[in-house]
Structure 1
Amino acid sequence: MRFRMKKVTLGNVVIAAVISLTLLSLYSMWSLPPSVSNRSKLVARKDFLQNMKKNNVPVEEPPDDSLVKQLGERDFDYIRKERLYNLRKKCEKAEEAKLVRKNITARKLGHIIVNDQYKVLFCYIPKVACTNMKRVFLLLTGQMNSTNPLALKSKDVHMSLDKYLTYLDSYSDEEAAEKLRTYKKLIFVREPLERLLSAYRNKFIEKSAYFHKRFGRRIIRKFRDGVNKSQEILGNDVTFLEFVRYITDPKTIENEGFNEHWAHYSALCHPCHVQYDFIGKYESIDEDVDFVLKDLKIDQLIKFPKRNATYKRTKTGDQLESFYSKIPRDLLASLWRIYRLDYRLFDYPYPQVLEKFLAPEGSV
């Protein structure tokens, strides 16, 4: 059994930080600044409408519903192409500034799943429909005795069934380079602070013995006032404030790096090294996955679980204000500095929750 619990090293974080600083200085030259008022939850739709209006194309703002229903397949295809264009332009600027190396070794590509039959690579990011996408790739192996993704238990997907998946870091550099050159490459991302909260809820509010023991005990001992160092700590009641203090503590990066559930997208999937052919977003997951399945010609073989079908609790996006309102301003500012590269690379606007509880981007 191949247990893939990963963290991001200090070297990766330093590189990401340097790239972030340069991208910030160049940002106004090669991308529109994010709007900070009246944002739609569907970021892709809002971005598209803004661009259409900028170019004096008359549009009528539709109600929040399916993106395809709102815009039509042709316009939504434009959104997908725009995502790729914007990412590549930003990476080109980083390369011009000599902040991104042209090549990367296969051993750093352990988050990319390989399927040779359909000639497709998928970089999984925890808390971005990761389990359901792994279910799809497990079904594509032909060894699951099912075509229903939900027939595969979540725990098994990440543990006992993981041995059926192949990852790009298991190949030589030459083999990995050839697959990167010839296979379709997919990545799915999510609003970064929403993903961070989702990780906290999943790993510290719900039952997750590994995370309680591995991280919870240490977080409580270090960041909870009045804790007796000799008392037994279960680590199963970490508060969100304690978790944020852990994330924003410089020693976390310096001493251990970030776990894959809250690591940067750039450190997990290397979007400036891998020329992705498709960027999906969690905010439009149903439409994006439908497009991928049709493009791979497996839409009649596999039915991806709809986003609402797998929810058993309040959606994380509806809980942002409740959780982040309890975080002090200095820590909110630190969170923005930590994750702003992910916002920049994938065109997420300055987060509305920070706009409400902190300040507009320009004053941070």
Structure 2
Amino acid sequence: MEFAKVHFLSFILISIVMGLITYNGITMSTTVLRDIPDNGDNEFADFYPRPQAVPGVEQSLELWQEQTSRLERLQDICKQLNRTQTYTPPKGYTMRLLVDDTNHVLFGYIPKVGCTTWKGVFGRIRRAHGGNRPDFSKLSQFNDTEREKRLREYKKVLFVRDPVIRLLSAYLSKFTNLRALQKTWENMYGFDILKRYRPGSEDLLKNNHNLPRSERTFMNVTLTEFIRFVTDRGDQIKLHEISDHWLPQHIVSHVCEIGFDFIGKYENLAVEAPFVLNWLGLTSVAGFPEVHASKASSFIADEYAHVPLIYIQALQKYYMTDFQLFGYSSTGTVLKIANQLFDIDHID
């Protein structure tokens, strides 16, 4: 543990300097949002939630002020990237937009940002309006004219998450659960990862290759190996239903092209989820489940403290555009890790 602390002290100093140089002018949050506790991952909550209180008038005004700040930042960075809003984006850009035609809502979901819970909420909304099935429509299911009409007229909502913690959440849930899901991800990526980054794994790879998938030994990909795989391959990894669990959120959501009206923060889910449901006029039919601490938030120090600095810095670079677009800071994440690693109650 002492090695981890020394290792991480170096990381803190480097990251703070990087933060001052690279993310100058990008704020993390307003006072009201800093005061809201990090309630973490809620992706496995049941879909029959108790209603939660909507913020009072004063706090609601501050939340809207924060929205203005987020959207202005987003528009500025999108302009710098030469990416602009369009009502006729490619059909593939709309595959992760849930449609509520009754209330005229489009919800952009991103894996590892509470998307399972949000799908459950929209399933409940559909049932409340007489739908026979508990699922939902996606915008990509409609023709060009219908997609354009909804993009122009509906309220569009997106929730995002600290990129570094989101990647850890994907890693923990897919590569460490010691169940069929882990074998699925290992069968898809494990052979390539071990071949590239684990010297001496030849026998394990050979034995697993010769066995049926269900009988293969767990490869137990490490976080460092996963980070190296993600950052080394970068743009070579195309967007699909598995890679969207760690690819940058601006790629998964096409946030510049879709032009969302509300950008929520996963870290403030307990307040912002009920708030946006109230804004959408959905509170009477769908409250948001009680929010619980996430596994990723709880174990972030234990996991990242042993990752070599060079790979954490590569991860920061990989998610640079997400940090900028959504107002996150890698320095802020470092301080959160330090809180746990050094048992610090508060950092000014």
Q: Quickly name the TM-score band, shorter chain normalised.
A: 0.7 to 0.9
The CA distance in 1 between the partners of 2:239 and 2:38, in whole Å, is: 39
Give the match's secondary structure for 1:104: coil
TM-score (norm 1): 0.69
Name the residue aligned to 2:47.
none
Name the residue aligned to 1:225.
199
Q: Could you tell me which runs of 5 or more consecutive residues in structure 2 were left unpaired when the two chains were aligned.
A: 1-21, 40-53, 209-215, 338-348
Task: Find 1:127's aligned residue among 105, 108, 112.
Answer: 112
Corresponding position: 1:271 with 2:242:
no
Corresponding position: 1:82 with 2:69:
yes
Give the match's secondary structure for 1:107: helix
Paired amino acid for 2:281: K
Residue 247 (structure 1) shift: 0.9
Name the residue aligned to 1:109.
94
In structure 2, the CA distance between the partners of 1:355 and 1:136, relative to structure 1 (3 Å rule), is closer
Deviations along 1:36-60, one digit per CA (max 9) or x if unpaired, are: xxxxxxx4345978xxxxxxxxxxx
Deviations along 1:267-322, one digit per CA (max 9) or x if unpaired, are: 111111111111110111111111122122221222211212xx5xx632232222
The CA distance in 2 between the partners of 1:192 and 1:332, in whole Å, is: 12
Name the residue aligned to 1:296.
280
Aligned partners of 2:157 and 2:264 also within 8 Å? yes
Deviations along 1:11-35, one digit per CA (max 9) or x if unpaired, are: xxxxxxxxxxxxxxxx88xx7145x
Corresponding position: 1:331 with 2:318:
no
The CA distance in 1 between the partners of 2:270 and 2:116, in whole Å, is: 15
Give the match's secondary structure for 2:310: helix
In structure 2, the CA distance between the partners of 1:118 and 1:101, relative to structure 1 (3 Å rule), is closer
Give the match's secondary structure for 1:307: coil
Q: Percent identity?
A: 27
Name the residue aligned to 2:155.
184
In structure 2, the CA distance between the partners of 1:121 and 1:352, relative to structure 1 (3 Å rule), is same
Corresponding position: 1:213 with 2:187:
yes
Provide the aligned C-alpha RMSD in A. Answer: 3.4
Name the residue aligned to 1:156.
none
TM-score (norm 2): 0.72
In structure 2, the CA distance between the partners of 1:217 and 1:63, relative to structure 1 (3 Å rule), is closer
- Give runs of aligned pairs for residues 1-364 of structure 1, distance below 5 A: 32-34=25-27, 43-46=28-31, 72-95=59-82, 102=86, 104-142=89-127, 164-206=135-177, 207=179, 208=181, 209-227=183-201, 228=203, 229-232=205-208, 233-250=216-233, 253-254=235-236, 259-308=243-292, 315-354=295-334
In structure 2, the CA distance between the partners of 1:144 and 1:172, relative to structure 1 (3 Å rule), is closer
The CA distance in 2 between the partners of 1:255 and 1:340, in whole Å, is: 17
Q: Could you tell me which runs of 5 or more consecutive residues in structure 1 were left unpaired when the two chains were aligned.
A: 1-26, 35-42, 50-61, 147-160, 358-364
In structure 2, the CA distance between the partners of 1:63 and 1:203, relative to structure 1 (3 Å rule), is closer
